[in-house]
Amino acid sequence: MRFTSLRLRLVLVFGLVALTAAVTASGIAYWLNREAVLTRAQDAVLRDFEQEMQNRAGALPSEPTQEELRRAAEQMSNGSQHFSVLLISVAPDGRLVVESSGMLDSFTLEDVPRSLREAVNRKQKLTSANSSPYHLYWQRTVGEDGTPYLVAGARVADGPTGYMLKSLEPEAKDLNSLAWSLGIATALALVGSALLAQAAATTVLRPVHRLGIAARRLGEGKLDTRLQVSGTDELAELSRTFNRTAAALEQRVAEMSARDEASRRFVADMSHELRTPLTAITAVTEVLEEELDAETGGIDPMIEPAVRLVVSETRRLGDLVENLMEVTRFDAGTARLVLDDVDIADQITACVDARAWLDAVELDAERGVTARLDPRRLDVILANLIGNALKHGGSPVRVSVRVEDAPDAPLAPHAPHPPHAAHAPHDAAAEHPERVPDADAAAGADEAAAEAARKVLVIRVRDHGPGIPEEVLPHVFDRFYKASASRPRSEGSGLGLSIALENAHIHGGEISAANSPEGGAVFTLRLPLDASSVTEEAPAEQQAGGRQRQRQRSGR
């Protein structure tokens, strides 16, 4: 699990803080209690040993017998502390006499550290602050079995030397019990902190989670999304800020939508209103054009340039009105496909021939490549791409047609899917339900449809001009875009490539523009071989939006 969850981070931070605090507190408590327990036990033993050395060992003669030493050692060990005692004296012949209390057979002189023996036998100078030539010394040791011991030694002036061994195992067990208790308390503190962190994270993150859901809904276009606000803390203020922002955004989007709808309605109404006078003007210009072409010279040569200008501008105005009406149909979502089986090579040839471009266009297309598309819209796409190449590029314009494998991702938002069996071509079985079609034939048809869905039609239009400037490439399909601000007026309407792109999108296809490495611009059109699924799966929201715009237009 990656360290990206805020809940996980809160739990870990709470846990680390609680663990650090618990371990620190437990360590301090253990150290203080350990010192207190050991010091209390040690002081009691040393005090008892020192008193016994003064009372018992001090009462012995300067040269005690071995029996006297043994009896004194046993009496010393029978005290309240029950420690083992080792008494050492020097016999008249100079040998050492050693006797123990007998309670701990393993306690010998070798068990006493050398440094402790040297300190015990070291004679101190007598001063006003030091009234005794010998002092009591002690040391903590650990046996081979891990048991802690307290070893102490003292010497009586002109008397025997005594050593004491006291096991600290009871105190060690008490300290172990304390350590276990502190460890359990630390674990419980850690668990409690984790539960507390979980509760705190839930309390903090629940509003954040609701805020995330609301922001996601707002991003999906549901501008009426609001949060329920309760409390006066920072999260409540954040929710209020979100609600105010969402309300302002909804109002702003509503205003922009209203202005956009008004602009589209104005363009549509203006186009419709212009068609009537434009029809009359077109009829007059056709008469004038016939007079210009007449051999009798019916037009005065002085006004002939003006007449030709009127004819060309009237034709340009008619194209602009038609393009504007087409654009409004796309914006209103009312544009629909009328599909038919199209031979691509024949379609391109007809488009070029109708516009007298045969001499300037080279066609690289195999015969027999067919697709189920809208012939009229395909003609509009081809006319705009080839016309744009001839106008802004250089001859010859090369048009190539290929069928390629479809990419994994859809070509456009309305990319085609394999046709459903319910929309298969009409056959005899539809007229005679009692006749069952052959299963192999049906399977073959489905396989062919699936194969067609995995292919796309690719048409590339390349010119031999200077290419498209890099700063212009992102805007070539924008409406009314002019590559040069110094030439705002041109023969075209500035809508041709935009309309071509919309016609490609409605097929479930796409158009891209680039510069060829060999020079010139290349426009690549990708369309599905069968656009039937696009007409069957027209987005419901687009249809609903079109109906809403129609109601708004009729209401006003």
HSE of 16, CA atoms in CB hemisphere, 13 A: 5
Distance CA(66)–CA(56), nearest Å, equals 15
154 lies in the same domain as 272: no
CA 11/CA 27 separation, integer angstroms: 23
**Residue 336 · residue 330 · CB < 8 Å:** no
CATH code at 469? Answer: 3.30.565.10
- Checking 49-55 for CB contacts under 8 A at 24+ apart, the result is 49/76, 49/81, 49/83, 49/85, 49/136, 49/152, 49/154, 49/162, 49/164, 50/136, 50/154, 52/76, 52/79, 52/85, 53/136, 53/154, 53/156, 53/162, 54/156
For the stretch 335-385, pLDDT in tens is: 788 889 989 999 999 999 988 888 889 988 888 888 999 999 899 899 889
Specify the higher pLDDT residue, 88 or 394: 88
What is the 8-class DSSP label of residue 51?
Answer: H
pLDDT score at 418: 38
Find out whether 189 and 197 touch, Cβ atoms under 8 Å: no
pLDDT mean over 235-261: 86
Given this model, what pLDDT does residue 458 score? 92
Band the pLDDT of 489: cuts 50, 70, 90.
very low
Domain annotation covers residue 546: no
The amino acid sitting at 422 is A
My answer on whether 66 and 81 are in the same domain is: yes
Residue type, 236: A
Q: Is residue 432 part of a domain?
A: no
Listed in sequence order, the residues at least 6 apart from 496 whose beta carbon sits closer than 8 Å to its beta carbon are 323, 384, 387, 388
* CB burial string 399-428: b at 16+ within 10 A, e below: bebeeeebeeeebbebbbeebeeeebeeee
CA atoms of 54 and 175, how far apart (whole Å): 32
User: What CATH number should be reported for the domain holding residue 103?
Assistant: 3.30.450
Better-scored residue on pLDDT, 35 or 240: 240
Distance CA(77)–CA(215), nearest Å, equals 83
**Any alpha helices (H) in 294-357, and if so which ranges?**
304-332, 344-354
Task: Out of 226-235, 330-339, 409-418, 432-441, give the one with best mean pLDDT.
Answer: 226-235
CB 99 within 8 A of CB 69: yes
Q: Is the pLDDT of residue 417 over 50?
A: no
Q: Give the pLDDT band (50/70/90) at residue 443.
A: low
Residue 444 is predicted with a pLDDT of 56
Domain termination residue (choose one: 297, 317, 333): 333
Lowest mean pLDDT among 183-187, 482-486, 522-526: 482-486
**Residue 492: what pLDDT?**
57
d(CA 6, CA 409): 34
pTM of the model: 0.47
- Long-range contacts for 307-311 (Cβ within 8 Å, ≥24 apart)? 310/285, 311/285
Q: Which residues contact residue 266 at a Cβ distance below 8 angstroms, ignoring those fewer than 6 apart?
A: none
pLDDT at 547: 42
Number of Cβ within a 10 Å radius of residue 444: 11
User: Does residue 295 sit in the same domain as residue 373?
Assistant: no
User: How do strand 84-90 and strand 96-100 relate by DSSP bridges?
Assistant: antiparallel
Question: Which of 222, 256, 285 is a domain's end point?
Answer: 222
pLDDT over threshold 90, residue 552: no
Residue pLDDT, tens place only, 464-473: 888 888 888 8
* Residue ranges making up the domain that contains 501: 337-427+438-537
In this structure, are 234 and 215 located in the same domain?
A: no
6 is a domain residue: yes
Give pLDDT tens digits for 278-330: 777 878 777 777 777 665 556 677 777 787 788 777 777 777 777 677 777 77
The model's pLDDT over 505-531, given as tens digits with 9 standing for 90+, comes to 888 899 999 998 888 899 999 999 888
In a shared domain, residues 216 and 256? no
Q: Are 453 and 421 in contact (CB under 8 A)?
A: no
Domain boundary among 298, 333, 368: 333
pLDDT at residue 510, rounded to an integer: 92
* pLDDT at residue 105 in the model: 53
Domain identity same for 386 and 489? yes
Rounded mean pLDDT of 148-154? 87
The answer to whether position 552 is within a domain reads: no
Given the DSSP bridges, would you call strands 137-142 and 148-155 parallel, antiparallel or unpaired? antiparallel
Same domain membership, residue 192 and residue 90: no
Are residues 342 and 454 both part of a single domain?
yes
Rounded CA separation 265/553 (Å)? 7
90 has pLDDT over 70: yes
Q: What is the mean pLDDT of residues 435-444?
A: 52
Chain mean pLDDT for the chain: 76
356/454 same-domain check: yes
- The answer to the question of residue 543 being in a domain is no
Check whether residue 239 and residue 146 sit in a common domain: no
* Confidence label for 454 from pLDDT (cuts 50, 70 and 90): confident
pLDDT digits (tens, 9 = 90+) for 134-147: 888 888 888 777 77
CA angle 372, 378, 383 (to 5 degrees): 160
pLDDT at 431 over 50: no
Same domain as 356, residue 262: no
Q: Please give the helix or strand (H or E) that residue 89 lies within, else none.
A: strand 84-90
- Supply the pLDDT for residue 447: 62
**Based on the number of CB atoms within 10 Å of its own CB, is 229 exposed (0-12), middle (13-18) or buried (19 or more)?**
middle
The count of structural domains within the chain is 4
What are the contacts of 420-429 at 24+ separation with CB within 8 A? 420/533, 420/536, 421/446, 423/532, 423/533, 423/536, 424/449
Same domain, 189 and 288: no
Question: Would you say residue 545 lies in a domain?
Answer: no
Can you give the CATH number for the domain in which 238 is found?
A: 1.10.287.130
Q: Could you tell me the two tokens for 113?
A: 């550290």
In a domain, residue 554? The reply is no
**543: part of which helix (H) or strand (E)?**
helix 540-555
Selected residue with higher pLDDT from 318 and 489:
318
Both structure tokens of 80: 């309240």
Residue 264 above 50 pLDDT? yes
Q: Is the residue at 433 inside a domain?
A: no
